[in-house]
């Protein structure tokens, strides 16, 4: 493989995160965040060449946001037009039933990503805007979409089926898709490496605890269950999302509180979770409030842990035996109390956390279980951008190989000639 970098783009409705990295080593050449696209107080923060550049100005749309980012790249010594970019990898949230592996982008793929917007109205249209903007700015570089749902495409039927009218489910694509797949796949692969075993031979539970949060049960490298469903709302308690609740709450609120469907959407996606219970969605804030004796914050923490333990129990039983439990993402990597409380009192299952290892100031992938523990408990920093970059490279190389095979075989045919 050459050392040409890969540009990874994660385009949201009003923001674009980007990173230019070297896919073999993971070394990051430059990265940044464009925020508040379409609002008067747009902003960019760009890191590269040992410098941080910030600017505030209105950014009317995604193309303007990327143009601004490209200008910052040039300022920090990475002119993207001649940086030798091998491929651009785009994070796309929902692949529906259609996309279940990283896919080379063409017009039809963009149209289909848009068509899947009914399943992810906040995310897919924004992903498509980012893709189109990069295609305009870098028309000669291949672009690959990497889907958040892909890893969970083959969940067992019993795990992916909702117990509702089968025809309704079928007509409207209602099944459990799962999200954060790129992270669960990357982290479980790293975890298998860390315990020195082939991924095919280990049973794992992964807790991806960021602002959004999900858990997965993985048997021999294949996911058998996950907490998120049709949308990223199901499952664990999150920063601003409720996770699981009694679906009866929705008609109840519509009838008794007069909420309409947009109110409910906002309530459950933006004003619930830690923010709904305690007024803050950031775990560091929650911890500060708990330290000050705030009872709502304490309760929010307890609900958060209770939900984690509920899924831990479900997945322990689902897998029958577990070899590795891994924590990742903002909270999972940085909150020793969450890790310790989630796994407390489970020594009879071979699960224990070593207090010293758990609280060590260490940013690397590491064990936090005691040396002789039956179940390895790990912290593995996630790196979705690197996983996307590598997946994009694999698709680009495969496509190049197929193209040159086709060229070779058409040359063969020509040289064989009609007389053969
Ligand atoms: P996402 O990608 O879902 O936005 P991240 O994985 O970056 O989220 O996680 C962000 C969250 O991680 C923050 O909202 C905060 O709650 C939590 N977090 C970050 N640093 C710490 C820390 N040092 N201690 C506890 N929680 C932290």
Tens digits of per-residue pLDDT, 26-54?
999 999 999 999 988 999 999 999 999 99
Q: Which of 51, 57, 88 is nearest to 72 (CA)?
A: 51
As given in the structure block, the two tokens for residue 123 are: 């995310």
Q: What whole-number distance in Å separates Cα of residue 347 and Cα of residue 242?
A: 30
Sign of CA dihedral 155, 157, 161, 166: positive
> In this predicted structure, what is the pLDDT of residue 399?
86
> In this predicted structure, what is the pLDDT of residue 406?
67
> In this predicted structure, what is the pLDDT of residue 417?
34
Ligand 1: residue whose CA is nearest its atom 21: 334
Cα of 46 vs centre of ligand 1, distance in Å, is 20
Ligand 1 atom nearest 274 alpha carbon: 16
For 171, the enclosing helix (H) or strand (E) is helix 166-171
Q: Which of 91, 210, 287 to mutate to test the pocket of ligand 1 (most atoms within 8 A of CB)?
A: 210
Q: What whole-number distance in Å separates Cα of residue 386 and Cα of residue 46?
A: 18
> In this predicted structure, what is the pLDDT of residue 180?
96
- The set of residues, in sequence order, having a beta carbon less than 8 Å from that of 235 and lying 6+ positions away, is 213, 214, 215, 226, 227, 228, 229, 243, 244, 307, 311
Low-confidence stretches of the chain (pLDDT < 50) are: 1, 412-420
> In this predicted structure, what is the pLDDT of residue 1?
42
Beta-carbon neighbour count of residue 33 at 10 Å? 18
**Is 319 in contact with 219 (CB distance < 8 Å)?**
yes
> In this predicted structure, what is the pLDDT of residue 415?
37
Does residue 278 line the site of ligand 1, with CB under 6 A?
A: no
**Is 304 in contact with 338 (CB distance < 8 Å)?**
yes
Cα of 73 vs centre of ligand 1, distance in Å, is 27
Q: Which of 181, 273, 330, 336 to mutate to test the pocket of ligand 1 (most atoms within 8 A of CB)?
A: 330
**Is 352 in contact with 370 (CB distance < 8 Å)?**
yes
Cα of 102 vs centre of ligand 1, distance in Å, is 27
> In this predicted structure, what is the pLDDT of residue 13?
83
> In this predicted structure, what is the pLDDT of residue 108?
97
Ligand 1 atom nearest 338 alpha carbon: 25
Ligand 1 atom nearest 208 alpha carbon: 6
Cα of 419 vs centre of ligand 1, distance in Å, is 68
**Is 216 in contact with 206 (CB distance < 8 Å)?**
yes
What's this model's pTM, rounded to 2 decimal places?
0.92
Ligand 1: residue whose CA is nearest its atom 7: 330
> In this predicted structure, what is the pLDDT of residue 306?
98
Q: Which of 82, 35, 84, 75 is nearest to 53 (CA)?
A: 75
Does residue 229 line the site of ligand 1, with CB under 6 A?
A: no
């Amino acid at each position: 493989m050459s050392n040409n970098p890969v540009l990874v783009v994660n385009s949201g409705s009003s923001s674009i995160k980007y990173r230019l990295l070297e896919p073999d080593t993971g070394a990051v050449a430059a990265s940044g965040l464009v925020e508040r696209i379409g609002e008067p107080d747009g902003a960019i923060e760009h890191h590269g060449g040992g410098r941080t550049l910030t600017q505030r100005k209105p950014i009317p749309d995604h193309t303007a946001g990327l143009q601004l980012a490209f200008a910052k790249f040039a300022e920090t010594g990475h002119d993207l037009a001649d940086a030798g970019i091998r491929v651009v990898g785009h994070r796309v949230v929902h692949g529906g039933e259609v996309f279940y592996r990283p896919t080379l982008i063409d017009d039809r793929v963009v149209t289909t990503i848009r068509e899947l917007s009914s399943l992810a109205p906040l995310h897919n249209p924004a992903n498509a805007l980012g893709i189109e903007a990069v295609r305009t700015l870098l028309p000669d570089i291949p672009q690959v979409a990497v889907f958040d749902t892909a890893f969970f495409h083959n969940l067992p039927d019993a795990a992916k089926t909702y117990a509702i009218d089968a025809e309704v489910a079928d007509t409207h694509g209602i099944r459990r898709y799962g999200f954060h797949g790129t992270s669960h796949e990357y982290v479980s692969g790293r975890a298998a490496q860390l315990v020195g075993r082939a991924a095919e031979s280990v049973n794992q539970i992964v807790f991806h605890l960021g602002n959004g949060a999900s858990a997965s049960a993985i048997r021999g490298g294949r996911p058998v269950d996950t907490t998120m469903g049709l949308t990223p709302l199901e499952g664990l308690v999150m920063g601003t999302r409720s996770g699981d609740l009694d679906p009866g709450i929705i008609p109840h609120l519509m009838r008794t509180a007069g909420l309409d469907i947009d109110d409910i959407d906002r309530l459950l996606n933006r004003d619930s979770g830690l923010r709904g219970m305690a007024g803050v969605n950031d775990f560091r804030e929650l911890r500060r409030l708990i330290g000050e004796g705030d009872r709502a914050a304490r309760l929010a923490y307890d609900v958060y842990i209770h939900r984690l333990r509920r899924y831990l129990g479900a997945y322990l039983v689902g897998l029958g035996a577990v070899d590795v439990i891994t924590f990742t993402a903002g909270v999972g990597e940085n909150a020793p109390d969450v890790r310790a409380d989630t796994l407390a009192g489970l020594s009879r299952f071979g699960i224990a956390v070593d207090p010293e290892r758990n609280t060590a100031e260490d940013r690397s992938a590491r064990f936090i279980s005691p040396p002789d523990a039956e179940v390895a408990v790990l912290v593995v920093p996630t790196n979705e951008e690197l996983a996307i970059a590598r997946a994009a490279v694999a698709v680009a190389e495969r496509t190049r190989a197929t193209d040159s095979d086709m060229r070779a075989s058409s040359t063969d045919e020509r040289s064989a000639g009609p007389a053969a």
